[in-house]
Structure 1
Amino acid sequence: MIAIVDYGAGNLTSVARAVSFLSYDCVITDDPAQITGAERVIFPGVGAAGSAMETMRERGLDDALKQVFKAGIPMLGICVGCQIIMDSSQENDAACLGMIPGSAKAFSDTMPSEHGDGFLKVPHMGWNGLDVVRSHPLFEGVKKTDEFYFVHSYYPVPRSGDDVFGTTDYGIKFASAVGKHNLFATQFHLEKSGKPGLLILENFCRWAPC
C-alpha cells in the first residue's frame, strides 16, 4: 500500500488517480500510524510551505515522515513536497523537515535571466525540460527531450551538490529533482506531466532503495 500524505495541501486526488492508473493500491491519509506502516509514501502538495508545516505539526505528520525516512521506506516528494524536505524555506520563513540539508528559495521578478532576455516571470508555470546531472533509478527511461509541468515560485537549494539529481533552466538553473538515500523529490508535477511523469511515478512504485 502507498500512503499519500494529506497535510492540507491540494492535488492529492490527482496523484491518487495517477497511482491507481498505474495499477498500484494507494490511500490518502493523515493518520501517522498508517503512514509509518505503509510500504511507500508520497507527499505531494500545492500551497505555502508555512501552512503546510503548521498542519503537519498539528497532525503529527512531521514526526511520521521523519520516522519513514529513518526506516528506509521509499519516499517521494512533489512540488511543495520537494521544498519542505529542506531545513527551511524562505516562504513564510518556515522551519521544515530537515531531511536534506539546504533551503527553499524564492524566484524574484527582479532576478535577471542569465540568457540576457529580461527578468524572470514569477511563478514559473508551464512545461520545461530536465537535465539529469546524476543517474537515479527513478530516471530510468527518461529522455533528454522529455518535458515536465511546473507551477511554483520557490525551489530547493540543497547544501550539497550530491543531493541534486536534475536541474531545469528557467533563466537561471535550479535544482528540480533532489534526493537522499530512500528519499526522492521533484519540483515538477509528475501527475500533470503526461507519460514522462507517469514513468517516473511508476519507477518510484518499483524502487527498492539500497
Structure 2
Amino acid sequence: MIVIVDYGAGNLTSVQRAVSYLGYESLITNEPEKIVNAERIIFPGVGAAGSAMEEMKARGIDDALEKAFKSGIPMLGICVGCQIIMDGSEENDAVCLGLIKGTARAFPSGMKEENGILLKVPHMGWNGLNVVQPHPLFNGVGKEDEFYFVHSYFPEPLDRNNVFGVTEYGVEFVSAVGLKNLFATQFHLEKSGKPGLLILKNFCIWEP
C-alpha cells in the first residue's frame, strides 16, 4: 500500500488520482502508525513550510517520517514536500525534518529575463529539467521534457551529491534531490502530464 501523507498541505486527491491511474492502490492518512507501516510514502503539498511543520509536529507525523526514512521505506516528496526535508526553510524561519542537510531558499528579488523584464515570483508554469546525475526515478525522462512548477522557495542541499536535477528561472535552482530511499521534486509530478506520471511510475516500482 502506498501511503499519501495528509499534513494539511492540500493537493492530495490529485496525487491519489495519478497513482490510481498508474494502477496502484493508495491511502490518504495523517496517522503516524499507518505511515511507518507503509510500503511506500508520498508526501506532496502546497502552501507554507511553517504551517506544514506545525501540523506535522502536532500529529507526530514528523517523527513517523523520520522513522520511515531510517527504516528504508521508499519515500517521495513533492513541492513543499521537497522543501521540508531540509533542516530548515527561509519561509517562516521554519525548522524542518532534517532528512537532507540544507535549507529551503527564497528566490532572490529582482530576477530578470535576458530582455530585462522582471521575473514573477512565485515561479509558476512549465519549465525544463537538467538532470545532473542519473537516478532510477529519471529512467525514460527526456532532455526536452517539461514539468509544472508553482513555488517561491526551493531546496539547497549542503552536499551537491544530493542534487539530481536543476532548473533555470532567473537563477539556476535545485529542482530534484535525493538521499538513499528518499527522493523529492520541486515540480508537481501529478500536474506534469506524461513525464510526471513516468517519474511517479518509476517511484512505484523503485527498490532503493
TM above 0.5? yes
Question: What residue is the counterpart of 1:43 in the other structure?
Answer: 43
AA at the equivalent of 1:17: R
Offset at residue 107 of structure 1 (A): 1.2
Structure 1 vs Structure 2 CA RMSD:
1.0
Q: Deviations over 1:13-39 (max 9, x none)?
A: 000000010010100000100000000
Question: What residue is the counterpart of 1:123 in the other structure?
Answer: 122
Q: Deviations over 1:59-107 (max 9, x none)?
A: 0000000000000100000000000000000000000000000000111
Offset at residue 171 of structure 1 (A): 1.5
Offset at residue 119 of structure 1 (A): 3.4
Q: Residues 8-23 of structure 1: matches in 2 within 5 Å?
A: 8-23=8-23
**Which structure 1 segments of 5+ residues have no match?**
none
Offset at residue 116 of structure 1 (A): 6.3
Question: What residue is the counterpart of 1:100 in the other structure?
Answer: 100
Question: The residue matched to 1:177 in structure 2 has which SS?
Answer: strand
AA at the equivalent of 1:56: M
Tell whether 2:5 aligns with 1:5.
Answer: yes
Offset at residue 109 of structure 1 (A): 3.4
AA at the equivalent of 2:202: N
Tell whether 2:92 aligns with 1:72.
Answer: no
Question: What residue is the counterpart of 2:173 in the other structure?
Answer: 174
Question: The residue matched to 2:33 in structure 1 has which SS?
Answer: helix
**Which structure 2 segments of 5+ residues have no match?**
none
Q: Residues 60-209 of structure 1: matches in 2 within 5 Å?
A: 60-112=60-112, 115=114, 117-209=116-208
Offset at residue 121 of structure 1 (A): 1.4
Q: What TM-score, normalized by structure 2, do the two folds share?
A: 0.98
Percentage of pairs with the same residue = 70
For 2:170 and 2:157, how far apart are their aligned partners in 1? 19
Q: Deviations over 1:131-171 (max 9, x none)?
A: 00000000000000000000000000000110000000111
For 1:169 and 1:135, how far apart are their aligned partners in 2? 19
Q: What TM-score, normalized by structure 1, do the two folds share?
A: 0.97
For 1:137 and 1:146, how far apart are their aligned partners in 2? 16
